[in-house]
Amino acid sequence: MLSVHKFTFNPIQENTYVLYAENGDCCIIDPGCYFDVERNELVRFIQSKNLKPVYLLNTHCHLDHVFGNKFVSDTWQLPLYLHETEKMVLSFAPKSADMYGLPFENYNGEMKWLNPGDIIKIGHDELKVLFTPGHSPGSVSFYNEKDGYVISGDVLFSGSIGRTDLPGGDYDQLEHSIKTELYTLPDETKVYSGHGGGTSIGFEKRNNPFVRED
């Protein structure tokens, strides 16, 4: 079983996820920790569970999802995994952060590209990479079929969807991603989003006012 622990970090209230296997291996998805107290909270949790971080993953690279990339990489000597088309979004993140009055030191280490259909192995468990652009040009989601959940980043929210008015955003593309990559998952699949509370695929198909199942 690949357990999920959620943190809500930084002034933009972004959800950071630690997924951990029974053998103690774990991945850190979208580390948004901005303040020292948030970085310390992440470290304390990982130490308290005797976890070993083996992957640093980004669903996409808007500023609030990447504040902690460098910290996580430096602390556990991990390269960053992201979709190749997010590289430019990552490079723009500090300029965007300055506009919000949230300066930070960006990640500049090794990058490894995620491709649609890639399987990420954590202990004896697996995450499948789903390509879900639209909110951002290279947004990906991480699907755990065995345990029945998907980490959707800012693609799909409870009763909402990701904004598409940022550079590289495209509503038609986002709608297509949701309908073909997420709404095709089993209805009972839990959705862990980049902001706010969780939901399920079935609930969103029936009730989401922005993207309804055809």
For 67-98, the pLDDT digits (tens) are: 999 999 999 999 999 999 999 999 999 999 99
Predicted pLDDT of residue 192: 98
Q: Where are the alpha helices (DSSP H) in 49-86?
A: 63-66, 69-76
What's residue 80's pLDDT?
Answer: 98
Give CA separation, 145 vs 24, 105, 120, 151, in Å.
20, 35, 12, 11
pLDDT of residue 150: 99
Q: Provide the residue ranges of all domains of the chain, joining segments of one domain with +.
A: 3-101+109-207
pLDDT for 167 equals 85
- What is the domain class of 3-101+109-207 according to CATH? alpha beta
Distance CA 178, CA 164 (A): 13
The pLDDT of residue 130? 98
Q: Are 68 and 106 in contact (CB under 8 A)?
A: no
Quick one: pLDDT band at residue 214, thresholds 50, 70, 90? low
CA distance 187 to 31: 28
Interatomic CA distance for residues 10 and 8, integer angstroms: 7
pLDDT (tens digit per residue) in 141-186:
999 999 999 999 999 999 999 999 988 899 999 999 999 999 999 9
Provide the sign of the torsion angle of the four alpha carbons 96, 105, 139, 153, taken in this order. negative
Q: How far apart, in Å, do the first and last CA atoms of the chain sit? A: 33
Amino acid at 13: Q
